[in-house]
Amino acid sequence: MDDARKQHLLDRIDEKTDELPWYVREYVDKKMRTMSPRSLLNYCHDYLIFFNWMLAEGLYKGKCEDIPLDGLEKLTPQQIENFLSYLQFRLNNDRFTINRKLSSLKSLFNYLQNVAETQDLKPYLVRNVMAKISFNKIKEDQETVAQKMAGKILWKDEYEQFRQFVAEDYCQTVKNDKKLLNFHQQNAERDTAIVSLILGSGLRLSEVVGLDLSDVDFKKRMVRVMRKGNKEQYVYFSEQAGLDLEDYLQVRTEKYHLPVSNKALFVSASMGPKETTRRLSPRAIENLVKKYATAFGKPALSVHKLRHSFATRYQAENNDIPKLRRQLGHSSIQTTMIYTHLSNEELKRAVDNMDDHFDEPDNQ
């Protein structure tokens, strides 16, 4: 994303947050470091729909930006169900879109209850009504069948949710275990970069393990890898993966006490009496992904499933098997054909989903 485009999105976020309560602006500001501007703008759209619905329902008399925290605390599960019905029957949102908007709200309410604190160390919200609301169960269709075929992979908003979980939210699950919390704080940037890189490129485990610092080209957003058959290839990675890699490299040397001679991109914490730091092993990467996946609620998720996730998303949004084949390093195009499992209707939904993340609201 170029600077002008990014600045435009940030300006749009400022416009939207000016219409929202102060605590929503605070939440959005906190997420600036770990979420893309486009995703945050999409969140702001969702929040405006919700708070304007509260006003329309007479749940607060006044302006949207003045809705107090106790107005959220007094909401009942039935009122939230009414809001979800409003999305479905008045705005004609499908179940996937409703789940996405519910996810945005759950993330906000979780921040207000479990992260944000007042000056006297009390949570902003004591009661979180969103924790009582379940996501829509999606009827088993071709997309669900395809998910079973490919294994337990990430879909739609789960890409950013899982990345965000690794980067920040996991610490909430271990906040009462000082050892685990400290370990996460030590390795959060590294682990986020690993997950983000796989989700943003589809690299194999062995390819991630073998990366050196000199293999990363941030200007072209490519990494040099040795593929099967000892073939050298340059593979593109996403903008978000690039940002996460840069964040990691800013702390890599200091956090892991590395000598200049250590050229490995991903390294382990120092171990042994000599505090040796070495290249992160394949098993170590498998274990860290398993740890986060289990805590995230998708225990079947693995490094290979992250690769499947990238490929499924790429094909849904681009429908270009030859390019996907090259990106994944498949020797046979038949191997890549597994990702052609979307029907025409689902391709349309995938394209619509891309529009959902554009910088202008869709009047929903």
Is residue 231 within a helix (H) or strand (E), and if so which, with residue range?
A: strand 231-236
- Asked whether residue 342 carries a pLDDT value surpassing 50, the answer given is no
State the pairing for strand pair 231-236/222-227.
antiparallel
Are 241 and 322 contained in the same domain?
yes
> Is residue 144 pLDDT above 80, yes or no?
no
Distance CA 217, CA 236 (A): 9
Q: Which residues are catalytic?
A: 204, 228, 304, 307, 330, 339
Q: How far from chain centre, in Å, is Cα 110?
A: 16
- Across the beta sheet with 231-236, the strand order is 216-217, 222-227, 231-236
Q: What angle do CA 29, 159, 126 make, to 5 degrees?
A: 50
What is the C-alpha separation between 358 and 353, in angstroms, rounded? 9
Calculate mean pLDDT across residues 280-308: 92
Q: What are phi and psi of 199, to 5 degrees?
A: -70, -25
Is the same domain home to 64 and 174? no
- Reduced to 3 states (helix: H, G, I; strand: E, B; else coil), residue 107 is helix
Q: What gap in Å lies between CA 155 and CA 310, rounded to an integer?
A: 9
Overall average pLDDT of the 334-354 stretch: 57
Please indicate, yes or no, if residue 348 is contained in any of the structural domains.
yes
Whether the Cβ atoms of residue 223 and residue 234 lie closer than 8 Å to each other? yes
Q: Do 50 and 96 share a domain, yes or no?
A: yes
What pLDDT, in 10s, does the model give residues 233-262? 999 999 999 999 999 999 998 898 888 888
Examine the domain organization and report whether 171 and 131 are in the same domain: no
In this structure, is residue 237 part of a structural domain?
yes
Question: Is 230 in the same domain as 331?
Answer: yes
- Is 343 part of any domain? yes
Under the banding of pLDDT at 50, 70 and 90, the label for residue 355 is low
Question: For the whole model, what pTM was predicted?
Answer: 0.55
Q: Is 95 helix (H, G, I), strand (E, B) or coil?
A: helix
Where in the sequence is the domain holding 176, given as residue range(s)?
150-354
Half-sphere exposure of 273 (CA within 13 A, CB side): 0
Length of the chain: 364
Four-point Cα dihedral 102, 68, 41, 358, nearest 10: 60
User: CB under 8 Å, gap of 24 or more: what pairs does 335-344 form?
Assistant: 336/311, 338/149, 338/150, 339/311, 339/312, 339/314, 339/315, 340/315, 341/142, 341/145, 341/146, 341/149, 342/142, 342/143, 342/146, 342/315, 342/316, 343/142
Task: Show which of 112, 138, 164 is a domain's final residue.
Answer: 138
213-233 average pLDDT score: 90
DSSP state, residue 117: B
Q: Is residue 362 part of a domain?
A: no
pLDDT at 140 over 80: no
Please check whether residues 330 and 215 belong to one and the same domain.
Answer: yes
Task: Give the angle 283-192-1 at the CA atoms, nearest 5°.
Answer: 135
CATH of the domain at 174: 1.10.443.10
Are 118 and 221 found together in one domain?
no
Last residue of a domain, one of 138, 173, 199: 138
Confidence at 149, pLDDT banded by 50, 70, 90: very low
Give DSSP secondary structure letters for 252-303: HHHHHT--TT--BSSBPPPBTTTTB--BPPHHHHHHHHHHHHHHHT-TT--H
Please identify, among 97, 115, 138, the residue that sits at the C-terminal boundary of a domain.
Answer: 138
